[in-house]
A and B are shown apart, each in its own frame.
Chain A
Amino acid sequence: MQYPEPITQLIASYMKLPGIGQKSATRLAFYTLGMDEEDVTGFAQALIAAKRDLQFCSICGNITENDPCIICQDTSRDQTTVLVVEQSKDVMSMENTHEYHGLYHVLHGVLSPLNGQGPDDINITSLVTRLQDHSDISEVIVATNANSEGEATAMYLARLLKPAGIKVTRLAHGLAVGSDIDYADEMTLIKAVEGRTEL
């Protein structure tokens, strides 16, 4: 026997979310049936609002309600430094430190031909034009992940930007703060020794 049409539709919609299969989707759909109408309306509106009211900032590529985003509009921030990250989530992580006061640029990906992402497929062209238009930017900090793709992206940016006289830096590798040496894996320790600093 088939479920009534509206429920099948709802199950199919839930199944479009990552990590949700047939069983979980069915459970969620029946839970939704039992919810207050007010809550369901709120839920549906939140879904639509997230899609309709959000856009990518035309300057840095971060998700925002208003273009340009709050960070790009904030003139009190350090206008000479741009931190390059892979995704919007990384901007939030950096912002939560309350220590970095410069600007951002979101690549929306990392160079990886195996995943179909070449230099033209991620947000690099807009970074280059941005640097050409704003000559006061003197340093680009590359904060891509510490794996081979992140490293390749950082090296690519360095080759592109250094000839224009811009300082390109990369985040440090090493021990996590508050961690015990005996729990660190061998490669992290080797990298930490290589990147040691003088006291």
Chain B
Amino acid sequence: MELNKLTVQNFRNYSNLQLEFSTGINIFLGANAQGKTNLLEAIYVLALTRSHRTSNDKELINWQNQTATVSGSVWRDNYKLPLEITFSKKGKKALVNHLEQAKLSQYVGNLNVVLFAPEDLELVKGSPAIRRNFIDREFGQINPKYLFNATQYRNILRQRNNYLRQLQLQQAHDLVYLDVLTEQLVNYGAHILLARKSLLAKLEKVAHQTQQAITDGQETLTFKYVSAIKLTELADLTAIKTALTNKFASQKNRELQQGTTLVGPHRDDLQFLVNGQNVQSFGSQGQQRTTALAVKLAEIDLMKIETGEYPVLLLDDVLSELDTKRQTHLLKTIQDKVQTFITTPSLSDVARHLIKKPKIFLVEAGKVTEE
């Protein structure tokens, strides 16, 4: 899918703006604090009805006005789909093909976007919980059964932790019920682990190729799934269930002492290895950034494999953090494949000549001109 037109009214620092995009790479070029990211935000909002920068929709409305409107037209398999979203003090209104949608969930999904912002570096640098959330969110988008199992798992985990706490404080005594909760957790946990195993293998394959491409074959990216059970040796659901059940049995006394669940996919982690070394501890800033980017880009390809369509890619301030070599390979990897929007304060000559017919927009104090 591609976004070929965007109209923005009273949104952030823009009073009235109309832009036409290329189906390849579009670049918003300008100094700091001129409104580059606001344009990416407008595209993000048009796709998902909410901003990635704020939870308060009122901030999106230009301070001198009452309502803000973002509209655009999306190309999907040979037909044009107009989308529009309006924010006012009363709330928001979303229109598909000029018809107002009663539920926002019916609106979302008409334009898929993937955003890569500087904060996404946390995927590599941050805590395991950030990576688990990434896995659950992305796989949940692709696979509804994964989403169901993950939701059930989270629910039962809360019940089980609460019950373990009651057992620890001697407020409850029935261990048969604890076994039931364990069995439920093993059941949903095994489904999650099996799905993670197969989807991570697919993601790893694409991320590996992307990392090779961005680094000109110098860096090899592999994934290592860290879990209390040896997932790589377990082939099917029954084997995973048995391994989890045994692990729970061996940890039962410790769980009763500590009053919390110690085994399961909610305690696992995903490590990224570059040339065999954990990039979180041993990688340079540039390597960490490239890895995070390769994983995000791989996610786009996985979406294409699983759902059949590429989303629109938004890259916020990514180029300036990469050396010219990495920039070159990144741009080579994405062009001809995904419609991309990039913000950057400066554009190296290499990048400028490399991109086939890039559309460059100069952004200055809320005015946008085509170069």
Contact = CB atoms under 8 A, between A and B. Distances in A.
B184 A113 contact: no
Contact of A160 (B159, B176, B184): B176
Interface stretch (B114-122, B150-158, B211-219, B303-311): B150-158
B184 A156 contact: no
Contact of B148 (A112, A156, A159, A187): A187
B145 A156 contact: no
Contact of A187 (B145, B159, B177): B145
B145 A118 contact: no
Contacts of B162: 113-114
Interface in B142-183: 144-145, 148, 152, 155-156, 158-159, 162-163, 166, 172, 174, 176-177, 179-181, 183
Contacts of A119: 174, 176-177
B156 A156 contact: no
A118 B163 contact: yes
Contacts of A149: 159
A173 to B, nearest CB: 12
Given A113-B166, A187-B145, A159 B180 contact: yes
Interface in A18-71: none
Interface residues of A, number: 19
A120 B171 CA distance: 11
A78 to B, nearest CB: 28
Contact of A118 (B144, B172, B179, B184): B172
B156 A159 contact: no
Given A113-B166, A114-B158, A152 B172 contact: no
B142 to A, nearest CB: 12
Contact of A148 (B144, B155, B174, B176): B155
A24 B262 CA distance: 49
Contacts of B177: 111, 118-119, 152, 156
A155 interface: yes
A118 B179 CA distance: 13
Interface string B172-201: 101011011101100000000000000000
Among A148, A149, A155, A186, find the residue whose CB has the most chain B CB atoms closer than 10 A: A148
B196 to A, nearest CB: 18
A159 B178 CA distance: 12
A119 B180 CA distance: 12
Q: Which secondary structure dominates chain A's binding surface?
A: helix
Nearest to A111: B177
Given A114-B162, A118-B174, A120-B174, A155 B145 contact: no
Nearest to B181: A152
A186 B152 contact: no
B109 to A, nearest CB: 14
Contacts of B156: 148, 152
Nearest to B152: A148
Contacts of A172: none
B176 A156 contact: yes
A190 interface: yes
Contacts of A155: 180, 183-184
A151 interface: yes
A186 B184 contact: no
Nearest to B144: A186
A121 B103 CA distance: 40
A129 B88 CA distance: 62
Given A113-B172, A190-B145, A156 B159 contact: no
B88 to A, nearest CB: 26
B24 to A, nearest CB: 34
Interface string A135-152: 000000000000011011
A113 B158 CA distance: 9
Given A152-B184, A187-B144, A113 B163 contact: yes
Interface string B302-331: 000000000000000000000000000000
14 contacts: A114-B158, A118-B166, A118-B174, A148-B156, A148-B184, A149-B159, A152-B181, A155-B184, A156-B177, A156-B180, A159-B179, A159-B180, A160-B176, A186-B144
Given A119-B177, A156-B177, 16 more contacts: A113-B162, A114-B158, A114-B162, A118-B166, A118-B172, A118-B177, A119-B174, A120-B172, A148-B152, A148-B184, A152-B156, A152-B159, A152-B180, A155-B180, A159-B180, A190-B145
The 7 closest A-B pairs by CB, nearest first: A186-B144, A113-B163, A113-B162, A155-B180, A119-B174, A187-B148, A156-B180
